[in-house]
Amino acid sequence: TQLLEQSPQFLSIQEGENLTVYCNSSSVFSSLQWYRQEPGEGPVLLVTVVTGGEVKKLKRLTFQFGDARKDSSLHITAAQPGDTGLYLCAGAESGSQGNLIFGKGTKLSVKP
């Protein structure tokens, strides 16, 4: 079973700061998705990256898929308290039919 390692596990920052969350694996994924989860709710999809080297931007969030499709990063610019939550990366194995492997997540807290 492929594993996805996320770091850091916890992150507490002040409003306005920038941050980067990492998602790493020794194996290749067909695609990688980033989700955000709030307490008591299911994960909500933020982005899907498919092509090695791909960069996608969603307002203040920038997602990158590594050239070898083994790792990904999420960068948040000028974090806001509303960004607080659990950020999960999830990879689809080659030939999979959509069943994803999730990392343990990064719990982000942005203080005003």
Determine if 74 is a binding residue for another protein (CB under 8 A).
no
If one asks whether residue 90 binds another protein (CB under 8 A), the answer comes out as yes
25 binds another protein (CB under 8 A): no
Is there binding between residue 33 and another protein (CB under 8 A)? yes
CA angle 63, 22, 88 (to 5 degrees): 75
* Per-residue CA distances from 38 to 43, 54, 105 (Å): 7, 27, 12
Which of 7, 27, 48, 73: binder of another protein (CB under 8 A)? 48
Q: Phi and psi (nearest 5°) for 81? A: -55, -30
* Structure-derived torsion over alpha carbons of residues 67, 8, 77, 44, reported in degrees to the nearest 10: 80
Nearer to another protein, 85 or 105 (CB): 105
Tell me: does residue 108 bind another protein (CB under 8 A).
no
Which residues contact another protein (rule: CB under 8 A)?
4, 6, 30-31, 33, 35, 40-45, 48, 50, 88, 90, 92, 96-105
